[in-house]
Amino acid sequence: MSDTPLLDHLNTPGDIRLLSEPQLQQLAAEVRHELLEVISKTGGHLASNLGVVELTIALLSAFDLESDRILWDVGHQAYVYKLLTGRRQLFKTLRQDDGCGGFLHRSESVYDVFGAGHAGTAISAGLGFAAARDRQRSGGRVVAVVGDGALCCGSSLEGLNNIIETTNDFVLILNDNKMSIAPNVGALSRYLNRIISGERYNRLKERLSRLVRRIPRIGARLHQSIHSVEEAAKGLIVPGTIFEELGLRYIGPLDGHDIPGLVRTLQAVRKLKQPLVIHVLTEKGRGYPHAEQFPEAFHGTSCFDLETGKAEPPSPTTGAVPAGPSFSTGLGEALCRLMAEDQSVVAVTAGMCQGTGLAEVRRRYPDRLFDVGIAEEHAVLMAAGMAASGLKPVVPIYATFMQRAMDYVFHDVCLQNLPVIFCLDRAGVVDDGPTHHGIHDLGFWRCLPNLAVLQPADAREQEQMLHLLLEQGGPGILRYPKGSAAPIPGYEAGPLVWGKAQVLRQGPDVSIWALGRELALAREVAEDLAGHGVEATVVNPRFAIPLDRDLLLEQAARMPLVFLENHCAEGGLGSLAMDALPGDMAVRILKRGWPNQIIPWGTEAGIRRKFGLTREQLKTDILTFLNKKG
């Protein structure tokens, strides 16, 4: 290998096409080093990107991004792509304020031809690109890179079914690392494993085919006859035919870490104008022993020590470390206690066991945890069937992912008034950016019948609410943000009464209704206001739906109201309150949440500063609202 770093001199993706095989190997080593150096300091998705280094380099070596289009599914496997498409310096600011996004964004680079944050988008979007290319006769290849379990998404399967109806020129790269975030589940995953076991058959078949064709005079006819018989029989004995039955030529499985082999195959593929599936085998965490051993833990990681692999406090630019247990951990612990008490309680997860705090549930109650893979709609429907059969399903899913299943919550849970409890993790802003901010869902849920929405301030209240929702016996949502669920100093959660808020602090001048964890911030703001002669009431709403209308009307008649939430201000708690009040009272409301625009990625502290959801700014805003001098 050369001593001259290659990454420093790659200015465009086209430069990679000029590199020799030894240089491509050197580039792979440099990319791995860069991934580890950056992600250990900023946090991010590590294991999936370590696994896709050689595949990405081979794709950029074989395809021409000036005419070809590469779409990634899911976006968290595209860090290498970012590094090699002109964003090497920007990548050092991964997921930081005004820095590099953790997912693909069309606004970030011309090479991000389609945004990618959630799973299950590349095949269908790629078919859209292919249809446009065919209609416009613009040329170029369309490549969809599907990995980390995204093939099991309903949208991916719908797209797979529609490829031959849309185009005769499409390349699907199946990045098969046997995992999504956790190990892949389901029949499709087992099917792909059978394909891998059939690799020896494929190699033997190719050698025999070459020998038969060489037989003088009859070789070609004999080969054709054998081929016809084989095509009729191989569906019975050989895995891999499902793609061919869908009209797609199957190639593979290929070693996803063999750069020369990958480049040769992909260069040949680029010349083939037909629907293709290229099955590539990769290892999640490749090249970093800690990630190879614990790929689930290193899927999405905070800052860590490169030598030991252990988590470290982030640098000052990445925000503070949450104190105490997280809401995700609190949910898992509470659910374990519930399961010990009630045999009818079960849990359903959509490929997010670790992320939603269910690892201990999986260990202690493996027969009562159902992981359906990255298929939120199916998770909701399955839970509805469980509830209709007498079980008590609890379904933890990220708030932003749950948006995909809204129709199923309405049609299959709410309309039938079934007792399904949805626990929406990451309900608030997160460092991953707009595809992952859980700040829009209240605007959806408020329209649905029979549905209650509760939001706890800490882990103790979270468990109280979980119990209450199960006792209530109807559809319910429990929302909570990423981060600490430790007790809020000075806050004691009183008895939980259905539809009733809790008043924490009494004051005659203004009432601050703070949803969930924002209660801690509201208490601080109230203290600051007291220093300016303003005595504030502080309310923990507990229930977004049903809202405590009695308390709301009583307070609105006496004082102005402020609503504080880690959610879009339009469509959130403040909007619910305004709709519940007479018009003359609603004018004395100040709503403070996120604006109705795209909220960028970055640290939560940085995003709060940018949009004024900080202690100092809220104090100033409330004093201005009350016509007081700050």
Q: What are the catalytic residues?
A: 284, 376, 404
What is the number of residues in the chain?
630
Look at residues 476, 446, 448, 478 and name the one whose alpha carbon lies nearest to residue 461.
478
Distance CA 46, CA 66 (A): 28
Beta strands in 399-529 (DSSP E): 421-425, 452-454, 476-479, 502-505, 510-514
Distance CA 16, CA 58 (A): 9
Distance CA 580, CA 585 (A): 10
- State phi, psi for 494 to the nearest 5 degrees: -80, -175
Look at residues 239, 157, 149, 243 and name the one whose alpha carbon lies nearest to residue 202.
239
Supply 395's token pair. Answer: 């379904």
By the 10 Å C-beta count (0-12 exposed, 13-18 middle, 19+ buried), 135 is classed as exposed
Supply 421's token pair. Answer: 């409890």
Supply 583's token pair. Answer: 């018009």
Cβ(2)–Cβ(45) below 8 Å = no
- State phi, psi for 124 to the nearest 5 degrees: -65, -45
Q: Is 254 helix (H, G, I), strand (E, B) or coil?
A: strand
Q: Is 471 helix (H, G, I), strand (E, B) or coil?
A: helix
> From residue 173, how far is each of 246, 252, 526 by CA, in Å?
15, 10, 55
Which amino acid belongs to residue 188? Answer: L
Distance CA 424, CA 499 (A): 19
Q: What is the DSSP letter of 8?
A: G
In DSSP terms, 590 is beta-bridged to 562
Supply 394's token pair. Answer: 């609890």
**Range 380-406 burial, b when 16+ CB lie within 10 A, else e:** bbbbbebbeeebbbbbbbbbbbbbbbb
Distance CA 507, CA 626 (A): 14
Cα first-last separation, the chain: 64
